[in-house]
Amino acid sequence: MRKLKLWILMLITTMIFTSTIGFADNALVMDSYQIASNSQNNQQQSNSYDYDILIKSGNVYKEGNKLDMAIKDGVIVAVKPNIKGSAKLNINADGKFISPGYLDTHNHLGKTNIDTGKESKTLMEAVKDTEEYWENFKDSEQIKKDVKERAEKTIIRMIKNGTTGIRTNVDLHIEAIEAVHELKVKYKDYIDIQIATHITDEDIIGPAIEKGWIDCIGAYAQPEWNSIENGTIDKAFELAQKYNLPIDIHVDESDEPNIDCFLYIIDKTIETGMQGKVTVGHVTALSAVDDDVAAKAIKKAAESGINVTSLTSCNMYLMGRSDTGIIRRGPTRVDGLLKAGVTVSYASDNIRDPFRPFGNGDMLEEGLLTAQIIQYGTKTDLNTVYDMGTYNPAKVMGYTNYGLKVGDRADIVILDAESAADALIGQATKLYVIKNGKLTVKNEKKSTILDIDSK
Ligand SMILES: [Zn+2]
């Protein structure tokens, strides 16, 4: 008879997650960098460095593994093995994944974190409850203060999660646009913010455009709102052309098999010569029409150079509410659009508001949801999804120097992962975020299993 040993193991798992952002010029998170950038003497001394930041041995997305990356004056100046030279800040990436900063081209900073006190469930309930929420605000300053406080929370979440650029929809009130514009200026060293408005009344929006508060013209276009007949889409194109701005329109966010607005916008894009400058979001009705109708529309969309943003997680939550049994997934036909050559991105849409109570301002989280919802799970597919949160939205935002090549702007995330697929699946910690060549965020996640067994 074998004598059994009894081991008593007590396992306690602790997880600590800390995140810090600091202002790039005066209170950076890393001591070494703080010292280097704070004092006049050290600034003088820092000029003698070859580089501002030297990252050693990282797996650089699309460029190769175990490469060094040198950054100077906000730009990537070298990407190759064994870069020699001195740097103000040295980061040993040691096989960690290096990604360009995330770009979230469709969210709603004007609505984020609204708590109406009501339990909105459907899209139309959320619309109604949000409209009623605004009725409580009669005073301009009150609106501005409210938007600023709510939007700032989400901006900070995004910055901490490695998002370096967003296009946000702000509507209903000019005060809301002013509030987000002020945040855009405040956080300019951390995140680029493009503001899209859905106010198409030129008397209201014209002065804001003249002041430089608006980066993009938007609109809400739905067949049931007669958006073609009442001129909403035409007005958006008219304003965009007059002020030389891109267009980003919410289109056909419905379960009904009607894509008239989508088709109208495609035609309008070609007619006005705005190819490449028009983006549509949602287009969930494209999933509701028959396959042959969808195929023709997708072909036309590709020819028109229109960009499509899939609000995958939000539309999964909101759509198909009247379905029984098998409930439709909700988002647009991402696979068909991608295969036709359309630039497709995913984005957050609503973050913690009456439209969607979820969202952490985290593009890696949105990417993982997108991958599962659109059934993209192979390594190749996961790279495609990763591009939908990085390189594809860079085209939407009009960036020409985005990426990880020499000469690109140094907007970078270093993740505790080996690859894009690993980062998505593992929801990897964004260890360092670099914006315009400056370290802006450091995140740490510690997980320890404590074994207090004494044999
Ligand atoms: Zn939206």
**Cα-flanking dihedrals φ and ψ of residue 383, to 5°?**
-65, -40
CA of 169 to the centre of ligand 1 (A): 7
pLDDT of residue 454: 59
Two structure tokens written together for 198: 């859905």
10-residue block means of pLDDT along the chain (455 residues)? 39 54 43 35 64 98 98 98 97 97 97 92 89 87 94 98 97 88 98 93 90 94 93 96 96 95 98 96 97 98 98 95 92 98 98 95 98 97 98 97 98 98 98 98 92 65
353, part of any domain: yes
CA of 233 to the centre of ligand 1 (A): 16
For the stretch 144-200, pLDDT in tens is: 999 999 999 999 999 999 999 999 999 778 899 999 999 999 999 999 999 999 888
pLDDT of residue 16: 57
28, part of any domain: no
CA of 106 to the centre of ligand 1 (A): 6
CA of 249 to the centre of ligand 1 (A): 9
pLDDT of residue 55: 98
| CATH number of the domain that residue 134 is part of | 3.20.20.140
CA of 353 to the centre of ligand 1 (A): 12
pLDDT of residue 120: 86
CA distances to 3, 283, 289, 297, 389 from 340, rounded to whole Å, are: 68, 16, 17, 11, 19
By DSSP bridging, strand 247-251 and strand 278-282 are parallel
| Residue 213 identity (one-letter amino acid) | W
CA of 409 to the centre of ligand 1 (A): 28
CA of 78 to the centre of ligand 1 (A): 38
Q: What is the pTM of this model?
A: 0.90
Q: Output b/e per residue, 281-308; b: 16+ Cβ within 10 A.
A: bbbbbbbbbeeeebeebbebbbebbbbb
230, part of any domain: yes
CA of 311 to the centre of ligand 1 (A): 7
266, part of any domain: yes
CA of 76 to the centre of ligand 1 (A): 33
115, part of any domain: yes
**Cα-flanking dihedrals φ and ψ of residue 444, to 5°?**
-130, 140
Other residues' Cβ atoms within 10 Å of the Cβ of residue 405: 13
Nearby residues of 416 by Cβ (< 8 Å), 6 or more positions away: 96, 426, 428, 429, 431, 445
312, part of any domain: yes
Contact between residue 433 and residue 187 where contact means Cβ atoms under 8 Å apart: no
CA of 141 to the centre of ligand 1 (A): 25
pLDDT of residue 421: 98
CA of 451 to the centre of ligand 1 (A): 48
Q: Output b/e per residue, 92-112; b: 16+ Cβ within 10 A.
A: ebeebbbbbbbbbbbbbbbbb
CA of 218 to the centre of ligand 1 (A): 10
CA of 341 to the centre of ligand 1 (A): 23
325, part of any domain: yes
Tally of domains within the chain: 1
Q: What is the 3-state secondary structure (H, E, C) of 90-153?
A: EEECCCCEEEECEEEEEECCCCCCCCCCCCCCCHHHHHHHHHHHHHCCCCHHHHHHHHHHHHHH
CA of 355 to the centre of ligand 1 (A): 9
Domain of residue 110: give its range.
Answer: 102-401
CA of 330 to the centre of ligand 1 (A): 14
